[in-house]
Amino acid sequence: MSTHETVPEPKFPEKHYLNAEYGIRSWLLTTDHKRIAMLYLAAVTFFFFIGGFFAMMIRLHLMTPNGYLLTPDQYNRMFTMHGVTMVFFFLIPSIPAILGNFLIPIMVGAKDLAFPKINLLSWYIYIIGGLFTMWSMINGGLDTGWTFYTPLSTVYSNSAVAPAVIGVFITGFSSILTGLNFLVTVHTMRAPGMTWFRLPLFVWAHYATSLVMVLGTPVIAITLALAGMERLFGLGFFNPAMGGDPILFQHLFWFYSHPAVYIMILPAMGVISELIPTFARKQLFGYHFVAAASLAIAVIGFLVWTHHMFLTGQSTYAAVAFSFLTFVVAIPSAIKVFNWTATLFGGSISFDTPMLYAFGFLGLFLIGGLTGLFLGCLGIDMNIHDTYFVVAHFHYIMVGGAVMGYLGGLHFWWPKITGRMYPEWLARIAAFTLFIGFNFTFFPQFLLGVMGMPRRYHMYPPEFQIYNVMSTAGASILAVGYLLPMIYLTWAAFYGKVAGENPWPATGLEWKTQSPPLTENFEVTPVVTWEAYDFRNRPDLGLDVPGGSGPRIVAPAHGDD
C-alpha cells in the first residue's frame, strides 16, 4: 500500500487553443476543430433556447382544454417550429458538431480533422440555414408540422413555408460535410498504433452516425427542393390535384427522417460508451459487439422508414415487412443496453454527474426504445399512431436519451474543453431536477396517448386535462434542469477549479493532453500501444490495480517519450 501522497494542485496551462490567438477574426476564420466546436456550441445553444421557448408556449397553452393562450394558427406554428428547430438545429448537430468536432481528432491522435476548412464551412452553412429558418419564424412562422406533409405544406398552408424549407435544405449540407469529415478522418488520420479496435466507442458511434449523415441527408435535400419548388412554382410531384402523390413525399421524407433519428441517438450512445467504463473503471463489456451494433443500427435504420406510414393505406405486405424490420432494428440497441449494464458488474462505480446522466440515459432510453416497439407492432400502432403516445415515445429517446447523453458528455469533457471543473454538487442537483422534470413532463403523455388524445391539437376534450396539467408542471421543472447547467457551466469555464490533464481519470487519448488542449492537440504524435478502456494496464492513471499492472506494454506518461 502506498503512503499518503499529496497530489500537487494542477496548474492551468500557459498556452492552449483558447488563447492561441485573440480577436473575432481568429474565431470566425479559425480552422481549429476545437474552436469550431465552440462556435457550434454557441450556435446550437442559441437554437436550443429558441426551440425551448416554443416548447414553453406549447405547454403553457395546453394547460387548459380550450387553449386560451394562443390562437389555433399560433399554436400550430409553435409546435411546428419547436419541431423544426429542435430536430434540425439542435438534435442533429449537437453531439457530433460540438463534442465530435472537439474530440474526434484528439481521440484518434491527430492534429485536426481531415478537412479543417470544410469544417468551418459546415458551421457557416449551419448559420445560413438557421438564418433562413429564423426568417421564416419572423415572417409569421411555419405551421405545417416539422414533417411538411403535402399537399398541406405545398398548397394549402398560409405560413412562411418556403424560407423554412430553404433553411433546412441548406443546413442539411452542414450535416453532410461534418459526416464526410469524420469518415475520412477515422480512415486516414489515426495515430500509429491506433487500430480500429482500439478506437474509443465514441469514435465508432460517430463513424456510424456519419454513414447515416452522408447517405441519408442528400435525400431530404432533394425532397425539400422538390417540395419547395412545388410551393414556389406550382410543380406537382406531391400534389394530387396535379397528378402528384402525397405518399411519394412521405416515402422520400421518411427515407431520411427515420435514419435521422439514429443520427440523433448514435452519438449519445457513443457518449454513454465513454461514461460507463470511465465511471465504473472497467473495460466496456463486449467492445466488439457494441461497435458492431452501432454499424448495424446505422444500416438497418435505413430499412424501416415506412413504419411512419402504416396507416396511409399501404399494402399489407409492405406493412408486415417494415414492421418486422422495425423489430429487428431494436435488437442492436438492446445489445448495447445489456453490454452497458454488464460493464457495471464488477466495476468500481462512482456517481459523478456524468455517470448520473448515463444512468438516466439507461432507464429513459430503455423506456423510449421499448415504447417504439409498441408503435412498430402493427396491431397496436393503429391505436396509438399520431397520438401523444408517439410524442412521449420520441421525447423519451430524444430528451431522455440524446439530451442526457449530450449533457453527460458536456459535463464529462468540460474540464478538457475549458480546463476547469464544474461544481459537482450543483451539477448533481441539476441532473436530478432534469430527470424528475422530464418524467413528469412526458410520462403523462404516454397515458394521454393510450386514452386517445391525438397530437398536434390546440384544443382537447376536457377529460385529458389532468395529464396535460401534470405535463406542463413537469416541463417547468425540466426547464430549471436545463437552465442550471447553462449557468454553472458558463461560470465554471471562467472560475471553476483547475482540472488538470485527467481529473477523472479516464483512458482516452484526449486525457493525455493538457486541459485545455494546445491548438495542435499533441506536442508529439502519440503512439498507441494499449487497448481502449484498459484501466488495469495504465500506470499513468495512478490507480491501484490489485496485483500490479500486467506484463503487457503499458502507456507512457506523455506521448511517446
Calpha distance 561→542 (Å, rounded) = 18
Is residue 171 within the footprint of another protein (CB under 8 A)? no
Is residue 109 within the footprint of another protein (CB under 8 A)? no
Select from 176, 297, 410, 417 the one that contacts another protein (CB under 8 A): 176
Q: What is the CA radius of gyration of the chain?
A: 24
Options 131-139, 365-373, 428-436, 467-475: segment touching another protein (CB under 8 A): 365-373
Site string for another protein, 231-250 (x = CB under 8 A): --xxxxx--xxxxxxxxx--
Options 86-94, 265-273, 315-323, 494-502: segment touching another protein (CB under 8 A): 315-323
Options 129-137, 363-371, 399-407, 493-501: segment touching another protein (CB under 8 A): 363-371
Select from 139, 140, 461, 552 the one that contacts another protein (CB under 8 A): 461
For the CB of residue 366, give the shortest distance to another protein in the complex, in Å. Answer: 5
Is residue 345 within the footprint of another protein (CB under 8 A)? yes
For the CB of residue 485, give the shortest distance to another protein in the complex, in Å. Answer: 22
For the CB of residue 219, give the shortest distance to another protein in the complex, in Å. Answer: 5
Site string for another protein, 285-304 (x = CB under 8 A): xxxxx---------------
Select from 20, 60, 334, 477 the one that contacts another protein (CB under 8 A): 334
DSSP string, 98-146: IIIHHHHHHHHT-SS-S-HHHHHHHHHHHHHHHHHHHHHHHTT---S-T
Q: Which residues of 488-511 are buried (b: 16+ CB within 10 A; e: fewer)?
A: bbeebbeebebbbbbbbbbbbbbb
Options 53-61, 266-274, 382-390, 475-483: segment touching another protein (CB under 8 A): 382-390
Is residue 152 within the footprint of another protein (CB under 8 A)? yes
Identify which of residues 16 and 385 has a Cβ nearer to another protein in the complex.
385
Is residue 271 within the footprint of another protein (CB under 8 A)? no
Identify which of residues 107 and 479 has a Cβ nearer to another protein in the complex.
107
Identify which of residues 475 and 532 has a Cβ nearer to another protein in the complex.
532
Q: Say if residue 516 is preceded by a cis peptide, omega within 30 of 0.
A: yes
Phi, psi of 185 (to 5 degrees): -60, -45
Options 91-99, 277-285, 404-412, 471-479: segment touching another protein (CB under 8 A): 277-285
Options 86-94, 217-225, 260-268, 485-493: segment touching another protein (CB under 8 A): 217-225
Question: Quick check: 266 and 209 in contact, CB under 8 A?
Answer: yes
Identify which of residues 151 and 444 has a Cβ nearer to another protein in the complex.
151
* Distances, alpha carbon 532 to alpha carbons 111, 199, 295, 336, in Å: 20, 7, 18, 17
DSSP string, 157-226: --S-HHHHHHHHHHHHHHHHHHHHHHHHHHHH-PPTT--GGGS-HHHHHHHHHHHHHHHHHHHHHHHHHH
Is residue 281 within the footprint of another protein (CB under 8 A)? yes
Options 17-25, 284-292, 419-427, 496-504: segment touching another protein (CB under 8 A): 284-292
Is residue 327 within the footprint of another protein (CB under 8 A)? yes
98: Cα within 13 Å, side-chain hemisphere? 26
Question: Quick check: 167 and 136 in contact, CB under 8 A?
Answer: yes
Which residue type, as a one-letter code, is found at position 52? G
Select from 29, 346, 487, 552 the one that contacts another protein (CB under 8 A): 346
Is residue 29 within the footprint of another protein (CB under 8 A)? no
Subset of 505-544 contacting another protein (CB under 8 A): 520, 525, 535-536, 542-544
Identify which of 459, 387, 448 has the alpha carbon closest to the alpha carbon of residue 73.
459
Subset of 36-65 contacting another protein (CB under 8 A): none
Identify which of 343, 356, 193, 363 has the alpha carbon closest to the alpha carbon of residue 282.
343
CA angle 414, 368, 270 (to 5 degrees): 35
Which residue type, as a one-letter code, is found at position 490? T
Is residue 387 within the footprint of another protein (CB under 8 A)? yes
> Who contacts 428 (Cβ-Cβ below 8 Å, separation ≥6)?
351, 353, 356
Question: Quick check: 224 and 168 in contact, CB under 8 A?
Answer: yes
Select from 69, 303, 347, 476 the one that contacts another protein (CB under 8 A): 347
Is residue 140 within the footprint of another protein (CB under 8 A)? no
Is residue 102 within the footprint of another protein (CB under 8 A)? no
For the CB of residue 288, give the shortest distance to another protein in the complex, in Å. Answer: 8
Is residue 156 within the footprint of another protein (CB under 8 A)? yes
Is residue 469 within the footprint of another protein (CB under 8 A)? no
The single residue listed with the C-alpha cell 386517445 is 452
